[in-house]
């Protein structure tokens, strides 16, 4: 699987080109990005990455500086020389300020220093996409008569404002962002409560049941229970 | 003694210097003074005698003063008769003459005027000496704390005669001599004082200028201790001990700074090396936690990757430990080993690293060398691995040794006909974690960047040196010089 790029299906998903020579880093970036709803293309060689960047239309390029055949700065410059306006996020292993300056001068839009948190990478990707206007993350999710606004943090069902706790809001947002995906309790814990939360996974059940109550969710349920596994959201079937 | 050692070095040196100078000057002054005094007294005595001589001769042997004896032969007038005249003639403003007869009895005293000094009372011992014919009886006396010189002159019946009829005792004041001496003494003391003062000032200046530089060194030391490793004493060119000390000190700090710089680079590099696996581990874990754990196939791939990174980390740790162990010489187990046996056993093992290269043993003379075989095995494994990595399949790798002089020992080498090393990389290849621009496509990622550093550390621990010769496109030769013993 290493050494060759993989292109992903998915119209409407933001297209991300990842150029990184460390196989493990490339692997988690690709897997993680796909899981988070991006369409990643992973490349290990700088030259191949440059070719792809020039041939195809990407929304963002994640670019490592230290590549064996052609360094990130060079790739960045070449892409900019062609007048491409694609957003470029540089990954640098060095903290030195010159590196950042060189990177930004070479035409990068942002940089991240290794080791970085994947969550931060996602946040920066979203910011880059927002700024470039190439891909706008929906502010409002609508399904089964429920409206969830990410910016105002308001949730309405059939026009009636629901009062949700922050945890319930995050849970509902997760479900509405990823309809039909089965989330295990552990995943929900990690993503809503945070990676460092240590405690009983049953707390998820408690919050989901509160959420259901507030949504007036009756069988056939919007939020479906998978016994021994977790929960998923099924708007079309409930409607 | 305690207060002495509490004084500053500047003060102590100056005091010591001034003390020694003062003692020297006093001794010299004293000797000079005594000498001058002796000379002056002697001169005065000689002068008195010289002045007395014609007068005595006039009165004793002068013809007009001869009387005619009964037989008509000329005869000296008795001393008693001429003594008053003689005494009076010999007496002057600062000298009084006293005439004594052959028994030492006073015949006449020349003193008439009050300013003329009183005659010294004759000292029988000296008078006797003079009466026995001793010409040079001279002594000093002190009366009313005034110094006088007493000179005795025997009176002979004719010049050179043994017949002595009396003695002239001249008592002469030494006041003027003393005055002169006092003046000289004062001058000497003044000069000594001036010399002492000048010496002290000069000494203080010299000591201070030396110590000022020591002070500079002290403040430099403090600055360095506070972490400012860029500071140097940097005294202007001087060849004395202080200059040497400053130079040696600067050299030491240079060396320390260099070592610390290397250390810092090493740590930075080590941290950098840790960063990549850590990034991979952190990212993979995060992605798993965010939900990929629910997808068994993707999770397995991530976990495999994480395993790979953890393996890399532990290998890196091992190598780092190797390196730190190597840098302490304590753990060497040297033993005498015949090089031919060692390499004949080693080469087949090296060949296994890359069977598709041509491995050649270029045996030198049959010698025995003291070394730690386990460590040397690692040296040649590392070198062989590098050589194999940088040669194409079919490439030729030669391992061999030669005798060396200055220092007496052996040069061992590993050479290849591979891609060579970029001249820009050449000075750095023994630095830990240094990876050249021609780092190749290390698919396995097995290189920790420490191999050559470990080689260098081992060879250095054996008292040897590592050199590299490389021509890009032609090949590389790593040469180890190891001394006997």
> Touching check for A27 and chain B: CB below 8 Å?
yes
Least CB-CB distance to B308: which of A24, A182, A195? A24
**Average pLDDT score over chain A:** 83
**Alpha-carbon distance A29 to nearest alpha carbon in chain B (angstroms):** 7
Contacts of B217 (CB under 8 A, 6+ apart): B233, B245, B246, B249
* pLDDT of A2: 36
- High-pLDDT (> 70) share of chain A, %: 90
Least CB-CB distance to A35: which of B281, B290, B305? B290
Q: Is B436 exposed, middle or buried (0-12, 13-18, 19+ CB in 10 A)?
A: middle
- Long-range contacts for B40-44 (Cβ within 8 Å, ≥24 apart)? B40/B177, B40/B180, B40/B181, B41/B138, B41/B140, B41/B149, B41/B174, B41/B177, B44/B149, B44/B172, B44/B174, B44/B177
Are the beta carbons of A24 and B309 separated by less than 8 Å? yes
pLDDT band with cut points at 50, 70 and 90 for residue A94: low
Digit-coded pLDDT (tens) for A115-172: 888 999 999 998 888 887 766 677 788 888 888 888 888 888 888 888 888 888 988 8
**Chain B residue whose CA is closest to A185:** B291
Q: Where are the domains of chain A?
A: 15-132, 140-238
Q: How many domains does chain B have?
A: 3
B458 in the same domain as B398: yes
> Touching check for B306 and chain A: CB below 8 Å?
yes
Least CB-CB distance to B290: which of A23, A93, A187? A187
Assign a CATH topology to domain A140-238: Arc Repressor Mutant, subunit A (1.10.10)
**Alpha-carbon distance B243 to nearest alpha carbon in chain A (angstroms):** 40
Whether residue A206 contacts residue A171, with contact meaning beta carbons closer than 8 Å, is answered with no
* pLDDT of B442: 45
* CATH code for the domain of B475: 3.30.565.10
B449 in the same domain as B317: no
How far out from the chain centre does Cα B248 lie? 13
Residue A16 has pLDDT above 90, yes or no: yes
> Touching check for B305 and chain A: CB below 8 Å?
yes
> Touching check for B286 and chain A: CB below 8 Å?
yes
The dihedral sign for the CA sequence A24, A25, A30, A36:
positive
> Touching check for B264 and chain A: CB below 8 Å?
no
What's the rounded mean pLDDT across residues A51-70? 87
Q: Which residue has the tokens 């952190």?
A: B282
- Cα B44 to Cα B104, B141, B145: the distances in Å are 24, 14, 19
Q: Helices B175-225 & B9-61, crossing angle to 10 degrees?
A: 170
Residue A61 has pLDDT above 90, yes or no: yes
> Touching check for A210 and chain B: CB below 8 Å?
no
**pLDDT 10s digit of each residue in chain B, 485 long?**
667 777 777 788 888 888 888 898 889 888 988 898 889 889 989 998 998 888 888 888 776 555 665 666 656 677 888 888 888 888 988 889 999 888 888 888 888 888 888 888 888 889 988 888 888 889 988 888 888 999 999 888 777 778 888 889 999 988 888 888 888 888 888 888 888 888 888 888 887 777 777 888 888 889 888 888 788 887 777 777 888 888 888 888 888 888 888 778 778 777 777 888 889 999 999 999 888 888 888 899 999 999 988 988 888 888 788 777 766 555 678 889 999 999 998 888 888 888 888 999 998 888 888 888 888 888 898 899 888 888 888 889 999 999 888 778 899 999 998 888 888 888 888 887 776 654 444 444 456 778 888 888 888 888 888 989 988 888 899 999 998 86
Distance (Å, rounded) from C-alpha B422 to C-alpha B437?
A: 8
B27 in the same domain as B174: yes
Give the residue from B267, B291, B324 where a domain finishes.
B324
If residue A32 lies in a helix (H) or strand (E), which one and from where to where? helix A23-35
Count of A–B CB contacts within 8 Å? 98
Are the beta carbons of A32 and B290 separated by less than 8 Å? yes
DSSP assignments along B280-313, one per residue: HHHHHHHHHHTTGGGSHHHHHHHHHHHHHHHHHH
Are the beta carbons of B276 and A93 separated by less than 8 Å? yes
**Alpha-carbon distance A159 to nearest alpha carbon in chain B (angstroms):** 32
B319 in the same domain as B334: no
What's the rounded mean pLDDT across residues A41-51? 90
* pLDDT of B69: 59
Domain extent, residue B246, equals 241-324
* CATH code for the domain of B277: 1.10.287.130
* CATH code for the domain of B101: 3.30.450.20
Q: Is B416 exposed, middle or buried (0-12, 13-18, 19+ CB in 10 A)?
A: buried
**Alpha-carbon distance B341 to nearest alpha carbon in chain A (angstroms):** 41
Are the beta carbons of B302 and A115 separated by less than 8 Å? no
> Touching check for A23 and chain B: CB below 8 Å?
yes
B111 in the same domain as B52: yes
**Alpha-carbon distance A104 to nearest alpha carbon in chain B (angstroms):** 21
Its pTM stands at: 0.57
Are the beta carbons of A119 and B286 separated by less than 8 Å? yes
At the fourth CATH level, which superfamily is domain A15-132? Response regulator (3.40.50.2300)
**Does the structure's ipTM exceed the value 0.95?**
no
A contacts of B278 (beta carbons < 8 Å) = 114-115
B57 in the same domain as B109: yes
Distance (Å, rounded) from C-alpha B88 to C-alpha B98?
A: 9
B152 in the same domain as B6: yes
Residues in chain A: 239
In a domain? residue B213: no
Structural tokens at position B471: 């021509």
> Touching check for B282 and chain A: CB below 8 Å?
yes
Distance (Å, rounded) from C-alpha A215 to C-alpha A210?
A: 9
How far out from the chain centre does Cα B73 lie? 89
Whether residue B162 contacts residue B133, with contact meaning beta carbons closer than 8 Å, is answered with yes
Least CB-CB distance to A23: which of B272, B290, B305? B305
Are the beta carbons of A68 and B283 separated by less than 8 Å? no
> Touching check for A197 and chain B: CB below 8 Å?
no
Contacts of B169 (CB under 8 A, 6+ apart): B97, B98, B99, B100, B119, B120, B122, B127, B150, B151, B152
Contacts of B195 (CB under 8 A, 6+ apart): B21, B25
Verify cis geometry, omega within 30 degrees of 0, for the bond prior to B407: yes
Give the residue from B182, B204, B222 where a domain finishes.
B182
In a domain? residue B204: no
> Touching check for B280 and chain A: CB below 8 Å?
yes
Contacts of A126 (CB under 8 A, 6+ apart): A137
B125 in the same domain as B23: yes
Q: Is B317 helix (H, G, I), strand (E, B) or coil?
A: helix
């Amino acid at each position: 699987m290493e050494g060759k790029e993989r292109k992903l299906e998915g119209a409407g998903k933001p297209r991300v080109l990842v150029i990184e020579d460390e196989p493990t880093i490339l692997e988690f970036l690709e897997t993680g990005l796909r899981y988070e709803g991006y369409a990643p293309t992973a490349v290990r060689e700088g030259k191949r990455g440059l070719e792809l960047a020039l041939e195809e239309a990407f929304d963002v390029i994640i670019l490592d500086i230290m590549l064996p055949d052609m360094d990130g700065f060079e790739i960045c410059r070449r892409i900019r020389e062609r007048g491409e306006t694609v957003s470029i996020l540089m990954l640098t292993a060095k903290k030195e300020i010159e590196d950042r300056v060189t990177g930004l001068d070479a035409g990068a839009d942002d940089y991240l220093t290794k080791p970085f948190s994947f969550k931060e990478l996602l946040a920066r990707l979203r910011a880059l996409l927002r700024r470039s206007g190439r891909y706008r993350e929906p502010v409002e999710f609508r399904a089964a008569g429920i409206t969830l606004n990410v910016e105002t943090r308001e949730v309405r069902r059939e026009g009636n404002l629901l009062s949700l706790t922050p945890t319930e809001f995050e849970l509902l947002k997760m479900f509405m962002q990823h309809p039909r995906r089965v989330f295990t309790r552990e995943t929900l814990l990690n993503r809503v409560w945070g990676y460092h939360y240590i405690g009983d996974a049953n707390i998820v059940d408690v919050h989901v049941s509160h959420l259901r109550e507030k949504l007036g969710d009756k069988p056939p349920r919007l939020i479906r229970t998978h016994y021994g596994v977790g929960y998923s959201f099924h708007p079309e079937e409930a409607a | 003694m305690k207060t002495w050692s509490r004084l500053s070095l500047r003060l102590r040196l100056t005091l010591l210097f001034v003390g020694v100078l003062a003692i020297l000057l006093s001794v010299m002054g004293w000797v000079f003074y005594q000498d001058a005094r002796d000379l002056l007294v002697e001169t005065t005595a000689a002068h008195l005698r010289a002045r007395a001589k014609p007068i005595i001769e006039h009165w004793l042997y002068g013809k007009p003063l001869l009387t005619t004896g009964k037989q008509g032969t000329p005869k000296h007038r008795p001393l008693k008769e001429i003594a008053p005249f003689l005494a009076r003639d010999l007496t002057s403003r600062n000298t009084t003459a006293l005439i004594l007869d052959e028994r030492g009895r006073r015949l006449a005293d020349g003193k008439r005027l009050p300013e003329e000094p009183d005659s010294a009372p004759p000292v029988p011992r000296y008078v006797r000496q003079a009466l026995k014919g001793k010409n040079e009886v001279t002594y000093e006396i002190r009366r009313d704390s005034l110094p006088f010189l007493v000179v005795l002159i025997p009176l002979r019946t004719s010049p050179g005669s043994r017949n002595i009829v009396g003695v002239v005792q001249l008592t002469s004041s030494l006041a003027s001599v003393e005055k002169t001496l006092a003046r000289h003494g004062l001058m000497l003391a003044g000069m000594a004082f001036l010399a002492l003062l000048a010496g002290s000032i000069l000494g203080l200046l010299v000591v201070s200028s030396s110590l000022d530089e020591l002070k500079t060194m002290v403040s430099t030391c403090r600055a360095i201790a506070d972490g400012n490793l860029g500071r140097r004493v940097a005294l202007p060119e001087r060849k004395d001990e202080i200059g040497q000390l400053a130079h040696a000190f600067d050299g030491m700090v240079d060396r320390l700074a260099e070592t610390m710089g290397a250390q810092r680079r090493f740590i930075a590099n080590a941290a950098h090396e840790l960063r990549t696996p850590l990034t991979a581990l952190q990212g993979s874990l995060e992605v798993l936690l965010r939900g990929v754990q629910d997808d068994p196939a993707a999770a397995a791939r991530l976990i495999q990757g994480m395993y790979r990174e953890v393996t890399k980390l532990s290998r890196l740790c091992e190598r780092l430990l190797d390196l730190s162990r190597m840098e302490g010489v304590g753990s060497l187990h040297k033993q005498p080993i015949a090089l031919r046996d060692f390499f004949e056993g080693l080469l087949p093992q090296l060949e296994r690293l890359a069977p598709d290269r041509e491995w050649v043993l270029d045996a030198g003379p049959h010698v025995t060398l003291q070394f730690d075989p386990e460590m040397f095995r690692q040296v040649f494994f590392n070198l062989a691995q590098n050589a194999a990595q940088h040669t194409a399949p079919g490439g030729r790798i030669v391992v061999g040794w030669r005798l060396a002089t200055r220092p007496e020992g052996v040069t061992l080498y590993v050479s290849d006909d591979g891609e060579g090393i970029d001249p820009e990389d050449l000075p750095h290849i023994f630095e830990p974690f240094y990876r050249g621009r021609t780092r190749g496509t290390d698919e396995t990622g097995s290189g920790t960047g420490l191999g050559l550093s470990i080689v260098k550390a081992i060879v250095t621990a054996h008292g040897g040196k590592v050199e590299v010769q490389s021509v890009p496109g032609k090949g590389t030769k790593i040469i180890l010089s190891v001394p006997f013993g």
